[in-house]
Chain A
Amino acid sequence: EVQVVESGGGLVQPGGSLRLSCAASASTVSSNYMSWVRQAPGKGLEWVSLIYSAGSTYYADSVKGRFTISRDTSKNTLYLQMNSLRTEDTALYYCAGTRSPGWFDPWGQGTLVIVSS
């Protein structure tokens, strides 16, 4: 069974940067689409970014130009580099395997990012 485990969350000041990691089992990262989805405290789900197995990337408008999704297939790890962080980026960030055309499964347990001064 494919599993994904996120790490890298924490407290960061507005304008700061953070890199999230998602370790996946087997060859998930290289052979599958992968996504990041976030959930602000007490709020609903918001898709953040997706990377296709061929390497194409897509972003929500709210993070475009500030966040970068990438992967290291040798380490079977997905990343989310987050720059110019804003208070509204505070959320639990989930890594998710993604099946064509865009179904999120499986999900990790999430890593919490808090942007505050």
Chain B
Amino acid sequence: DIQMTQSPSSVSASVGDRVTITCRASQVISSWLAWYQQKPGKAPKLLIYDASNLQSGVPSRFSGSGSGTNFTLTITSLQPEDFAAYYCQQANSFPLTFGGGTKVEIK
């Protein structure tokens, strides 16, 4: 199974800050990586797929990069509605696996 490791597990940031979350796969997954946002009490929402493609309707302050085993999600100019948990997920092979999550909290 492919293990997905996210870091940090939590980050405190202020509105307007730039936030970067990393995700590392235990083996090469090409660009088969997605990022999801989950707010408390809500279902997750797809933000980025194929490592760097922005899902329709997602603000352009979100971006994804990377390939192989190392990936990043960057939020430029953090907004109040961005405080949430973020998960990476690989779709290179079954079983599909998620990272442990990163909680973005208000500083």
Show the binding face of A for B, using Cβ within 8 Å: 35, 37, 44-47, 50, 58-61, 94, 99, 101-105, 107-110
A110 with B96: CB separation less than 8 A: no
Closest to B49 in A: A103
Show the binding face of B for A, using Cβ within 8 Å: 1, 32, 34, 36, 38, 43-46, 49, 55, 87, 89, 91-92, 94-101
Given contacts A45-B87, A105-B55, contact A94 B43 (CB under 8 A): yes
Closest to B50 in A: A103
Distance of A5 Cα from B100 Cα, bound (Å): 26
B89 with A45: CB separation less than 8 A: yes
B47 to chain A, nearest CB (A): 10
A contacts with B: majority SS: strand
Question: Which chain B positions have C-beta within 8 A of A44?
Answer: 87, 98-101
13 contacts between A and B (CB under 8 A): A44-B99, A44-B100, A47-B95, A47-B96, A47-B97, A60-B95, A99-B49, A101-B91, A102-B32, A102-B91, A103-B34, A104-B34, A107-B44
